[in-house]
Amino acid sequence: MTTNTPDRARTRFPGISSRAYEHPADRSALVALRSLSGFDIVLRRLSGLFNERAIRLAFLGGSVRAGEDQFRNLYDMVRDAAYILDLPEVPELYVRQSPLPNAMAIGSDHPFIVVNTGLLDLHDDEELRFVICHEVGHILSGHAVYQTMMMILTRLGSRLAWLPLGNVGIAAIIMGLQEWFRKAELSADRAGLLAGQDLDAAKRTMMKMAGGTRLGEMSTEAFLAQAREYDAVGDVRDGLLKFLNLIQQTHPYPVVRFAEIDRWAQSGEYDRILAGDYPRRADDNGASISEEIRNAANAYRESWSQSADPFIGKVRDVAEGAAAAAGGLFDRVSRRGGGSQNGGS
């Protein structure tokens, strides 16, 4: 049984690799991207199209930077999260006046965190800690950098929409990117739990994102039952409607995130990491692309087997076949390239 630890020293994870908590579908995409020779150089060139210095100056001039004398509580949370996840440097954190309860990680060379005041008004300290740790997890995984590149490529690709079938191709790319973004959010939720080490706070965060501050009117058991109902609701038509609703979403719905973090915490993987059994950053170069793709396929297969959504049942065979074909393709390419499947960081 997983134990929450909000009132005692939190476990630190020296040298932890982001692979420890990344959702398999997210992790396989990142390992594949990192394996490309010269990819990081190209990435930073593309990221340079967005002036990171200008963005930082905008927040420096128009928001409040947390520190020893401003938003000290949040500043301490960022330092704690960076220490627990063994981040090379402590990210800056800016508080921006906005009623929208949101937070984000921005930048490439020195990513920083932005938290809206709407989030501060919505959550208590332990919930905010989960959010801050979530964003630090994004930074450790490199999500801020990769998402910037994906946005650039999407914008460049949109210029080709005038070509025959161009809109179809662009729509497929966007759908794929949004699916990755949603899985990246699940990864960051796991990082939030790992660094915050308070499962109840993580769950409350999701509930408040869905229903506001009136937790006394809500129930974790009922919310989890709601998540199961959402998963199983209706017939194939309802499943298709859920799929269409999700296409434009960058984040999974709160009930989905609630159920996912509960499932991961109860799976035993969270407890193994707390006990010190986790992959190290020093071994990232040895990550196998084909193995990560298989892990992603297995994760989807397990998720589908647990899902009661009839629409998922209809597309399961097709999707599994596509995942298997992708793994086989990487195997063949790797063999032709001399048998190496290792990724570079």
The catalytic residues are: 135
The full length of the chain comes to: 345
Tokens, residue 226: 């709601």
Tokens, residue 275: 């006990």
Q: What share of the chain is helix, strand, coil (3-state, %, to 5)?
A: 65, 5, 30
CA distances from 237 to 224, 241, 253, 310 (A): 23, 6, 19, 9
Tokens, residue 156: 């460049």
- Long-range contact pairs involving 279-286 (C-beta distance under 8 Å, separation at least 24): 279/16, 279/17, 279/19, 279/20, 280/15, 280/16, 280/17, 281/15, 281/16, 281/17, 281/18, 281/86, 282/15, 283/17, 284/17, 284/19, 284/34, 284/343, 284/345, 285/342, 285/343, 285/344, 285/345, 286/342
Between the two ends of the chain, the Cα-to-Cα distance in Å is: 35
Q: How far is CA 117 from the centre of its chain?
A: 22
Packing angle of the helix pair 166-196, 24-35 (nearest 10 deg): 110
Q: Which of 339, 318, 283 is nearest to 20 (CA)?
A: 283
